[in-house]
Structure 1
Amino acid sequence: MEAPIPIDALPESLNLECLAPTPIDALPESLILECLARLHLKDIPVASRVCHKWLHLIGSRHFYTLRKQLGFTNQVACLLQQSPSPTFFNLKYAINVFDPMNREWNRLPPIPNFTKELPGSTSIASSEGKLVVLSECDPESRDPVKSLFVLDFATQRWKKGKGMPSIRSSKFSTVASRSDRVFINGDLGREEGAVWEYDAVWEYDAWKDEWTELHRVRGGQIIGMKVIGEELWVIIGCRGIKNMGMIEGIGAEVYHLQTENWRRVKLESGGVNELLCPCTDFELYELMKKLSENNFKVLENCFRLQLGKQSLLMAPFVTAATLNEGYGQEELFYMQFEDGSFERMQPSSSDFSGYVGSCCCVEL
C-alpha cells in the first residue's frame, strides 16, 4: 500500500475546497427528499424543525407518497377516548395514538387556541398521513357549529381548516373515511323558495383545504355514513327521527369511489343497524367475551380496526370501580394477527383505557 501524499507536497494549483464533503443543503431537493423519506417515524418531526426547506419538503404531499412507495410507512390507531372525569354527565375526550409496531401509547398535542379536552360529539378521520377532527366550537351551545382541524403527523402541527360551506347547522354531521378520502355530511336546511329540507354529502381535501359537494339528499335526513370497500354508503332516515331501531323502509344512497356513480338501495330497519353499528360480527363479540376476564362485563358494539396485516379489537366494558369513580366505560384491547392468534394490549396508564367514541387508522 502506497503512503498517503503529504498536504505540503500537493500542487499549489489544486483547489482543496473540491475535496471537502458537500453540505446536505447543497444537494438537489429530490435527493434530500429521498433521505428524509427514509427516516424513522419518531425522527421526522425533529427533522421538520431543522430549517424551513426541510419543513416544506416533509410537509409536502410528495414526501408522503414517496415514503409510502418506499415501504417506510407505518399504520397506527388514532382513538378518540373518554378522559377521566369528575362526573359521569360531563364526559370529555382526548385523542390518543396506539403504535402496534412498538406497542406504544401516546397522546396527541392539544389543538392550539381551542380546548384541552374535546366533547363527545367529536369525530375523527384520516387522510394520507393527516388526521381530520370535526368538533363543536362551543359545546354548551344549543345549536353547535362544527369546526374542522387537521394534524400533519409528519410535522406534528395543527391547522384550522375551512368550515363547511353553505351550511345552516352541522348538528347532524357524521364522518366517513378511508386512507385517502374524507366524507362529511351536513344539514343544509331549506332551499330558497322551497318547502322541503335537504342534507348534503361533502368531500374534504385535507391537503388543499377544499370542500367539494358530492350529493344532495331530499326528502330525508342522513343518519349515518360508512365506507365499505370501494363504496360510500349514505344511510337515509326520516327527518326528526330519534330511534333508528324503529325505522322501517329506510334507504341508502351508495356512491362508488372509482366510477363516481350513485345508486339507491332500499333497507329494512335491521339492515340499517347492521350498517351503522361499529361491529355486527357475532363471532367476534362471542370471542371477545371469552377472551375477557371474569371481573367485568363486556358490552355490545365490539369493533375491529384493521392496521395493515393485523387488527386491533376493541370492546367496551364496565366494572364496579369505573362506575363508582364516574368513568362509565373503559375499553378492552386485543391484537389479532394473520395466523389468528391474539395478544392482550394493556394500556400503559389509565389515560389510554377510556371508552373509544371514534377511531381511525392513519398511515404515517
Structure 2
Amino acid sequence: MASTSVTRNRKHVSEQPFIPSLPDDIAMVVLSRVPPRSHALLTGVCHKWRNLVNSTALYEQRKKAGNTTHFLCLLQAAPQLNPKQPPIYNVSLLNEQNTWERLPPIPEYRQWGLPLFSRLAAVSGRLVVVGGWNPATWETLRSVYVFSFSSWRWERGANMPSTRSFFACAAVGDYIFVAGGHDNTKMALASAERYDLKTDSWEILPQMHELRDECIGAVLNEKFHAISGYHTATQCKYVKSAEFYDPVSRAWSRIEEMIHVSPGAIVGAAGCLFAIHDREILAYCSSANKWEVLDELPVGDNGISPPLCITSYDRKLVVTGTCNVDEEKYRTFLYNLPEKMSMVSESSKCKGIWEALPVDDQFLGMTQTSCVVEL
C-alpha cells in the first residue's frame, strides 16, 4: 500500500503545473530568467521546482532562450600565511559581477581544497573535477566530483574505470573524454574513456594508436583530440602525432607530424585549434597540417609569460600565465579572436584584442588548469 501511495504522489506532483494558471512552456520561460545563484531558493517552493533545478532541464531552457552567461573557473592555489606549507588548491570563479570568489572545498578534502593536478571540464552547466592526486597522501585518484551552481555544492560522481595521471581531458557535447596519461607504475597509457553526466556512468572506448603520457586534450569539430605526449613517463622525447576520436564512427584517427614544438597548452575555438608556445599564440591550419603565429602574449609590466593554461568560449581565448614582474603571481587575459584569422606575417591589422580580467590580490596564486562553464 505504501509503495502505491508514493507512486500516486509522484504522479500527482508531475501533473501539477510549474506555476498555477500558466502553461508549463510559459512558466519555463519565466523560471529560465532566474539567475543560477538564486536557484537554491527555487528548490524550497515545491517538489516539482526542486526536481527541475536538480535536473539539466532548466539549464537547457536557459541556453535555448539565450539567458546563459559564462563563468571562468581556475584550479588555483589559495593565499597562505605560512609559505612553508604545501599549497592548497581551490576553484577560483569569476562571477557575473566580474569579481572573484572561491567555490567551497570538496567535503572529502575540506582541509586540503581540491585534488592536485586534477582536470576540469564543463557539461550542462556543471563543473566536473576528474582524477588528480590526493593532496594529503599523493595517492592517484579515480574520483569524479560534480559542482552544481544551483545548489552551490559538490556531489560525488562515478569513479573513472582506470587509474591515470596527467591525462588528456575535454568535454564534447554531453560527454567528458579522458585519454592517455600514465598509471601507478608510471607506464604510459593508450586507453580512453568517456563520462556521461546524465547517467553518471563511464564507457570504455577503443584504445588510441599510440601511448601518450602528458598528452593535451582539445576539441575541434565536435571531435576529441589527444595531442602529442610522451611514450614513457621518463619524458625523453615528445610524440609529434595526434589522434582524434569520432563519436559517430567510434574510432580514432591519427594526424601525423602534427606538432613539432612542445606547447604549453592547446584549446579549440571558432573552428580552429590554438596553442601557446613561448610568448606566441599559434593557430593550426588543418588543411596544411601546420601551425602559424597569430599573435603574441601581452608584454610589459602588466603582461604575462609562460607557463600557461588556456581555455575558451565563443570567439575568446582565456589565457592565464605568470606575471612578467612577479613569477609567483598569475594573471588572466581574454584574447578576442580577429574576425579574419590572418597570421601576423600576413597583416598586422588582423590581430585580436587583449583584455585584462579583474585583478584581486587574493586570486593571484599558481594556476594548474582552467575551464569556462556556461550557466
- Same-fold call, TM cutoff 0.5: yes
**2:242 aligned partner:** 252
Letter of the aligned partner of 2:205 in structure 1? L
Report Cα offsets for 1:51-101 as digits up to 9, x if no partner.
3321111222222211111111111111111212333671221101113x5
The residue that corresponds to 2:313 in the other structure is 307
In the alignment, the residues of structure 1 paired with residue 374 and residue 145 of structure 2 have an alpha-carbon distance, to the nearest angstrom, of 18
| Cα offset, 1:197, TM superposition | 8.1
Secondary structure class of the residue paired with 2:57: helix
Q: Which has the higher contact order (CA 8 A, sep 6+)?
A: 1
- The alpha-carbon distance between structure 1 residues 353 and 28, as it changes in their structure 2 partners (threshold 3 A), is same
For structure 1, the residue ranges without an aligned partner over 5 or more in a row are: 1-21, 191-195
Q: Does 1:208 align with 2:199?
A: yes
Q: 2:109 is paired with a residue of what secondary structure?
A: coil
The answer as to 2:134 corresponding to 1:138 is yes
Distance 2:165 2:238 in 1: 23
Q: What amino acid sits opposite 1:344 in the alignment?
A: A
- Corresponding residue for 1:356? 367
Name the count of aligned residue pairs: 322
Conserved in 2, the CA contact under 8 Å of 1:55 and 1:155? no
Query: Quick one: structure 1 residues 171 and 143, their matched pair in 2 at CA, closer, same or farther if it must change by over 3 Å?
Result: farther
**8 Å contact 2:334–2:354 — kept in the other structure?**
yes
Structure 1's 70 and 155: CA in aligned 2 closer, same or farther, altered over 3 A? same
> Does the 8 Å CA contact 1:143/1:171 hold for their aligned counterparts?
no
Q: Contact 2:178–2:193 (CA<8 Å) still a contact in 1?
A: yes
Task: Tell whether the 8 Å contact from 1:179 to 1:361 is kept in structure 2 after alignment.
Answer: no
Q: Residue 224 of structure 1 corresponds to which residue in structure 2?
A: 215
Contact 2:180 2:214 (8 Å CA) reproduced: no
Q: Against the structure 1 CA distance between its residues 38 and 269, is the aligned structure 2 distance closer, same or farther, given a 3 Å change threshold?
A: closer
| 1:128, distance to aligned residue in structure 2 (A) | 1.3
- Cα shift at 1:269: 6.2
In the alignment, the residues of structure 2 paired with residue 229 and residue 337 of structure 1 have an alpha-carbon distance, to the nearest angstrom, of 16
Query: 2: distance between equivalents of 1:286 and 1:88?
Result: 35
Q: Give the aligned residue type for 2:70.
A: Q
What residue is the counterpart of 1:346 in the other structure?
358
C-alpha distance in 1 between matches for 2:71 and 2:207: 34
Cα 1:93–1:224 change in 2 (3 A) is same
Post-superposition Cα deviations, 1:156-197, rounded to whole Å, max 9, x if no partner, equal 2321011112x2x3234342224643112367979xxxxx98
Partner-residue secondary structure (3-state), 1:175: strand
Change (3 A) 1:77 1:66: same
Whether contact under 8 Å (1:255, 1:262) holds in the other structure is yes
Give, in whole Å, the separation in 2 of the partners of 1:346 and 1:262.
Answer: 41
Pairing 1:1-364 to 2, within 5 Å after superposition: 24=19, 30-85=25-80, 86-87=82-83, 90-99=86-95, 102-116=97-111, 117-136=113-132, 138-141=134-137, 143-165=139-161, 167=162, 169-178=163-172, 180-185=174-179, 198-217=189-208, 220-230=211-221, 231-235=223-227, 237=229, 239-243=231-235, 246-247=236-237, 250-267=240-257, 270=260, 273=263, 279-280=276-277, 281=281, 286-290=296-300, 292-293=301-302, 298-302=304-308, 304-317=310-323, 319=325, 328-334=328-334, 336=336, 340-347=352-359, 349-364=360-375
Identical positions, percent? 23
> Partners of 1:144 and 1:211 in 2: how far apart?
18
Larger radius of gyration between Structure 1 and Structure 2: 1
The 2-side partners of 1:229 and 1:219 are apart by: 20
Amino acid at match of 2:167: S
| Structure 2 stretches lacking a partner, 5+ long | 1-16, 268-274, 283-292, 340-351
Contact kept? 1:288, 1:315, Cα under 8 Å: no
Deviation at 1:122, TM superposition (A): 1.9
Once residues 252 and 107 of structure 2 are traced to their aligned partners in structure 1, the CA distance between those partners, rounded to angstroms, is: 39
